[in-house]
Amino acid sequence: MKKEIEITGYKCKSCGRVHYPFHDRCLDCKGRDFDEIPAEGGAKLLAYTQIFNLPWGFDTRFLIIGVVEFENKVKAMGQIRADSLEGLKTGMKLRPAWEPVRQAAGEDIYGLALYPK
């Protein structure tokens, strides 16, 4: 597992579609050249859930996980820092942060954390 989950979008130079994660060819036009665009701006919540049956590697009672869209169209999954789903709503803005999201082999893995504003 990589130690950092990079949140970098890949904008197709031919058609402009923004991809995340990386693809060797554009999903729309098959173009092979991309501009790298770091996720920028606020994050709009597109989907979310709270899961109670966790996989290997987590020592918490639950996880709240969501998918967000940044202002420059990069869409990414991240962990939502909240005690419950109360107050969360599809379409709301969340504040992104770069934090440890799990541990592997005793080391922190950094990725996208999301805070309700």
Cβ neighbours around 114 below 10 Å, total: 26
User: Which CB, 73 or 93, lies closer to another protein?
Assistant: 73
Half-sphere exposure of 42 (CA within 13 A, CB side): 10
Token representation of residue 31:
């173009």
Of residues 26, 39, 43, 101, which one binds another protein by CB under 8 A? 101
Among 12, 76, 94, 96, binds another protein (CB under 8 A): 76
How open is the CA angle 59-64-65, to the nearest 5 degrees? 110
Is 35 or 104 the residue whose CB approaches another protein more closely?
104
Q: Residues interacting with another protein, by CB under 8 A?
A: 1-2, 5, 19-21, 27, 46-58, 63, 65-67, 75-79, 85, 90, 101-102, 109, 111-112
